[in-house]
């Protein structure tokens, strides 16, 4: 069953409306699938992720985005999130004055519409943090303030596990991570994944894909998906690069 369907999407940048970034992009993701998008810098990978979540930095000129049978093309970001779309950030932000625990509780409430049971909530947080090799003392620290790059990325995966969205979009969550941290992130993805949800991973590296059951790999160049294949395509790119896919 289709979970995400993107039809002929054209997108421009809000601060440069003469420049077309996505140029008729099409993509389908079914429930239970893990998809990977690879491509050179500037090709539109992060633009695609941000366009799905209705970032104000990008404007959709035409096309449609259907999520779980509902047209979300023009919905607000908070509405899309409540429908079950989550995105981890390539460069997570720090929020001084807000503890990690407070942020997580507020996020959970905004999605479910109910205050979480405190005892159950902290038990769940503790279990998720342990699975990600995170020190539970971090819950009392300010959100991402003083966190290492690896801890910030683990924090993104922690949010995904707690919010349990229908679709998780991971935008270069593996960038800047050492081998052990990448393995932890991959473990978190496997803990999250089931037959009713889906993952869209945007990456430059195949390291994060090791140990994952990848269904499809897409090569995105100059605003379009120019090639789709299985994991062997990612391995090919890792060895040979993208030159053969440029016109």
- Residue 75 in domain: yes
- Residue 100 in domain: no
Which residue, 193, 168, 199, 173, is CA-closest to 184?
A: 173
Task: Return the higher-pLDDT residue of 187 and 211.
Answer: 187
Distance CA 182, CA 210 (A): 9
Distances (CA, A) of 53 to 2, 85, 193, 207: 18, 8, 20, 26
Can you give the CATH number for the domain in which 32 is found? 3.40.50.300
Q: What's the token pair of residue 138?
A: 């971090």
- Residue 180 in domain: yes
The pLDDT of residue 129 is: 95
- Residue 153 in domain: no
Q: Which of 76-80, 84-88, 94-98, 209-213 has the lowest mean pLDDT?
A: 209-213
Domain of 28?
Answer: 2-90+165-245
Number of domains observed in the structure of the chain: 1
- Residue 37 in domain: yes
211-231 residue pLDDT tens = 899 999 999 999 999 999 999
- H helices of 138-230, where? 149-163, 179-192
Is the model's pLDDT at 247 over the cut of 80? Answer: no
Distance CA 233, CA 219 (A): 9
* Over residues 115-131, mean pLDDT: 93
- Residue 118 in domain: no
CB-count exposure of residue 103 (10 Å: 0-12, 13-18, 19+): middle
- Residue 187 in domain: yes
- Percentage of residues in the chain with pLDDT exceeding 70? 100
Q: Are 171 and 89 in contact (CB under 8 A)?
A: yes
Distances (CA, A) of 70 to 56, 61, 153, 194: 21, 19, 30, 21
Distance CA 101, CA 216 (A): 35
- Residue 120 in domain: no
């Amino acid at each position: 069953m289709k979970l995400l369907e993107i039809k002929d999407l054209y997108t421009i940048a809000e601060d440069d409306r003469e420049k077309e970034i996505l140029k008729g992009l099409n993509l389908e993701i079914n429930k239970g699938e893990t998809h990977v998008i690879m491509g050179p810098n500037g090709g539109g990978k992060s633009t695609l992720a941000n366009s799905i979540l209705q970032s104000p930095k990008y404007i959709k000129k035409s096309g449609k985005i259907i999520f779980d049978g509902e047209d979300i093309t023009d919905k607000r970001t908070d509405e899309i999130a409540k429908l079950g779309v989550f995105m981890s950030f390539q460069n997570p932000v720090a929020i001084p004055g807000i503890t990690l625990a407070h942020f997580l509780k507020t996020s959970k409430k905004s999605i479910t519409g109910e205050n979480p049971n405190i005892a159950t909530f902290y038990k769940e947080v503790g279990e998720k943090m342990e699975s990600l090799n995170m020190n539970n003392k971090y819950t009392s620290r300010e959100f991402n303030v003083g966190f290492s790059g690896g801890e910030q990325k683990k924090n993104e995966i922690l949010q995904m596990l707690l919010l349990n969205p229908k679709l998780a979009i991971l935008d270069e969550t593996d960038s800047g991570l050492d081998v052990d941290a990448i393995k932890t992130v991959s473990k978190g993805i496997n803990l999250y994944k089931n037959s009713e949800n889906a993952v869209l991973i945007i990456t430059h590296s195949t390291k994060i894909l090791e140990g994952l059951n990848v269904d499809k790999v897409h090569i995105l160049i100059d605003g379009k998906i120019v090639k789709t294949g299985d994991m062997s395509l990612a391995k090919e790119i890792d060895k040979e690069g993208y030159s053969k896919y440029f016109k």
